[in-house]
Amino acid sequence: MKRFVKILLIMFLLFPVFVKAEEKELLKNARNGILIEASTGEILFEKEKDEKVAVASLTKMMVQLIVLDKIENGDIGWDDIVVASKNASGMGGTQIWLSTGEKMSVRDLFKGMSIVSANDATVALAEYISGSEEEFVKLMNKKAKELGLSNTTYKNSTGLDEDGHLSSAYDLALLARELLKHEEILEYSSLYEDYIRKDTPNKYWLVNTNKLVRFYNGADGLKTGFTDNAKYTMAATAKRDNMRLIAIVLGEAEGKVRNSEAMELLDYGFDNYKLDLIKKKNDVVDYLSLDKSDVKNIPIVLENDLSVLSKKTNQSIKYDIDIKLDDISLPIKKNDKVGVINLVSNGKVIKSSNLVSKEDANKVSFLDYFLDNFSQIF
């Protein structure tokens, strides 16, 4: 009998039993969660995805989005200097220990918010953009409405517990997906460690609260949180090959359990799904020729990736591409919609993407048009 047990033990050591993620009970301990594929937005798994709950510092993803929008639009810059107010420096919870009147760049404040989830850095950025945190929160709620985050209401910029400050797993997935359209976010969320105040006696070491970026294959973001009401929360993202997944995990009693269940959720997606990238964002698919345009052939590109998500067990499907152009008149601005590209299988449209102009095109004057045509004759 003892020999049999020994042989059985050796067999287990040599041939360990692996349990596929699909055979596990996903998010067993979480209150809420969701897994989506980023480019298509398709839901791969959900658990109470629309329940309104406290979400702690996942709130800061909205702050990150607004900051990046402002930088992209030229309203603020990475090197702008922000002066910390008494209100910002007095914030509780996680912080980078701003002192009242301290000057710090938008870049370093963004690092502090993104890497260690610093509340003081978050409020300093909010005040810099809107003059006060209260006014910035109005901007957050306006943006939430624009994005269709129907279960989200913000009361502050940090995610600290406050009555009525709520969101949902699905809303957070939509927010994360929008945030990831700014590729700069990954430059910060993927950092496991960095420093601020580098050339001062108060050099400060930042260590990422998201341990997945160090220990999970492909992980490069996105945000973690904890408060008494929300418990441990996480918005995790990882990319393998050409597929990016977004996992939201809410209401975990322990940080380690949150991390492990987030990884199991991502494993489930990568183990069971594949993404066929048919055409990439900004790929030129055609040229537009318009009478009296100052650009002879206007490049038409995809607004977003054209991809098809399917289970790995499914057979490959053949697709046809159908391009439909709008009725277009000059002038055309870069990124103006000019048509749509459809992916067709068995006569059915299964995926679509807008087509946009790659550059500006203006209507030439009658004289320029006449001279151009005259020169072509001779």
Catalytic hit among 47, 60, 143, 223: 60
Reference 319, options 353, 288, 286, 287; nearest CA is 353
Structure tokens at 229: 């009401």
What is the C-alpha separation between 370 and 92, in angstroms, rounded? 69
Cα 123 to Cα 25, 128, 160, distances in angstroms: 39, 8, 12
Give the containing element (helix H, strand E) for 96: none
Catalytic hit among 47, 49, 57, 114: 57
- Contact between 55 and 122 under an 8 Å Cβ cutoff? The reply is no
What is the C-alpha separation between 259 and 254, in angstroms, rounded? 9
Burial category of 283 from C-beta neighbours within 10 Å (exposed 0-12, middle 13-18, buried 19 and up): middle
Count of alpha carbons within 13 angstroms of residue 218, beta-carbon side:
16
Is-catalytic flag, 57?
Answer: yes
Is-catalytic flag, 203?
Answer: no
**What's the helix, strand, coil split of the chain in %, to 5?**
35, 30, 40
Reference 242, options 178, 308, 330; nearest CA is 308
Catalytic hit among 39, 85, 117, 353: 117
Give the containing element (helix H, strand E) for 83: strand 81-83
3-state secondary structure 259-306: HHHHHHHHHHHHHHEEEEEEECCCCEEEEECCCCECCCCEEEEECCCE
Strands 204-207, 43-47: pairing is unpaired
Tell which phi-psi region holds residue 267, choosing left (phi > 0), alpha (psi between -120 and 50) or beta: alpha
Residues recognised as catalytic: 57, 60, 117
